[in-house]
A = this chain, B = another copy of it.
């Protein structure tokens, strides 16, 4: 079966977000009255495995082993079957 996962990786609160700060400064230079900017990443991953339970377990592993840094990132995801 083919699955699609949507994984959002966000900095934990309190961690400095250099890309967000740079974006905020650029928006302020363009005269937008911006108070804060935080940037997060979304991974859309298509993969095959044998069941939805296994698909969710794989995504959890991918997050822990590669996509999210446990020290500074939070993550959340959804997984669903997709057409072959």
Contact = CB atoms under 8 A, between A and B. Distances in A.
Interface string A21-47: 001001100101111111111111111
A69 interface: no
A48 to B, nearest CB: 5
B35 A46 contact: yes
Assembly stoichiometry (copies): 2
Nearest first, the 9 A-B pairs at minimum CB distance are A35-B46, A38-B44, A40-B42, A34-B47, A36-B46, A37-B45, A33-B47, A33-B48, A26-B66
Interface of A: 2, 8, 20, 23, 26-27, 30, 32-49, 58, 61-62, 65-67
11 contacts: A2-B35, A8-B42, A26-B66, A27-B45, A27-B62, A32-B58, A34-B45, A34-B47, A35-B46, A37-B43, A40-B41
